[in-house]
Structure 1
Amino acid sequence: MFQSLIATYSTWATIPLRIALGAVFIAHGAQKVFGLWGGPGLTKWLATPPPFAFMRPAWFWMGSAALFELLGGALVLLGLLTRVGAAMIAIVMLVAVLGVHWPGGFFLQNRGYEYAFSLLCASLALLIAGGGKLSVDESLMRGRGRRR
């Protein structure tokens, strides 16, 4: 099971994706968890209503979203358990697209889902490819004598 989580294709293409996605989600997660860069901080974030009515208790779902952003971003940036981090990000972005931005239509200028959809697709690419070159996953995989 662990080997399938760290398995990765030997490609350089994932590096810019990991850097961009990791930076964006570490920053947004840090806003929500720590209140950095003008963010709400955890107490205010946990009081935010969730995007769907079935998400009860709200604090659990909002806390999970903040943690998934911060931890998922860190995992993706490091290339450590990249698929797990990418899955965390994909879940948050799917909820953001469908539960928050969908009514605004496609374009970001109308609070649309354009940006969240792009981040969702980037996370899906990493979910498929794994961490690639210069990732902790690749180092772990090499250490186990497996290479894809």
Structure 2
Amino acid sequence: MNTSLTPSGARPIIPALANVWAALEPLSWLIVRVTTGILLMPHGAGKLFGLFGGYGLEGTGGYFDSIGFHPGYLFALLVGSLEFFGGALLVLGLLTRPVAAAVVVFMTVAFFIHLPNGYAWINAGFEMPVLWGMMALSILIRGGGKISLDRKLGFEF
């Protein structure tokens, strides 16, 4: 390996960092996948259990009913489970692509729900559904990666 180059093959501005980037490169996808899963889980915990300022199944179900998703309780259960348990599966790299595909679908719907509020998430805009959706799409395309239970078990969808 030519240590004067970064993993991308470019010459680094600070050559001493080339070895650092080369050593850390195998972890980059793991960081993306695990962080996405960990950060989805509190959203699901809020919908399912009322944690982290969430409204639990009853409150979230009422919200889903109010925006036309009936029965709201079922939608709250499905979305909360996707975020909480699906997030945990992303952390583990298990059933990575099916979970990521479900998150892409959910975030596409969330985008249209939040679209009337404009871009900024601080105004309940579509910024975060786009971010989550693009992260999930990237995970869907790439799969669990080398450090995943999917790979360890010898299968990927």
| Larger CA Rg, structure 1 vs 2 | 2
8 Å Cα contact 2:58/2:73 also seen in 1: no
8 Å Cα contact 1:93/1:119 also seen in 2: yes
**Matches for 1:7-18 after TM superposition, within 5 Å:** 12-18=27-33
Root mean square deviation, CA, Å = 2.1
1:31 maps onto 2:46 in alignment = yes
Distance 1:61 1:84 in 2: 18
* Counterpart residue number, 1:3: none
Paired residues, what number? 131
TM-score by length of 1: 0.78
* Counterpart residue number, 1:109: 122
Identity of aligned residues (%): 35
**Matches for 1:1-148 after TM superposition, within 5 Å:** 12-50=27-65, 52-53=67-68, 55-99=69-113, 101-141=114-154
Q: Which has the higher contact order (CA 8 A, sep 6+)?
A: 1
Unmatched 5+ residue regions in structure 1?
Answer: 1-10
TM-score by length of 2: 0.74
Distance 2:115 2:67 in 1: 13
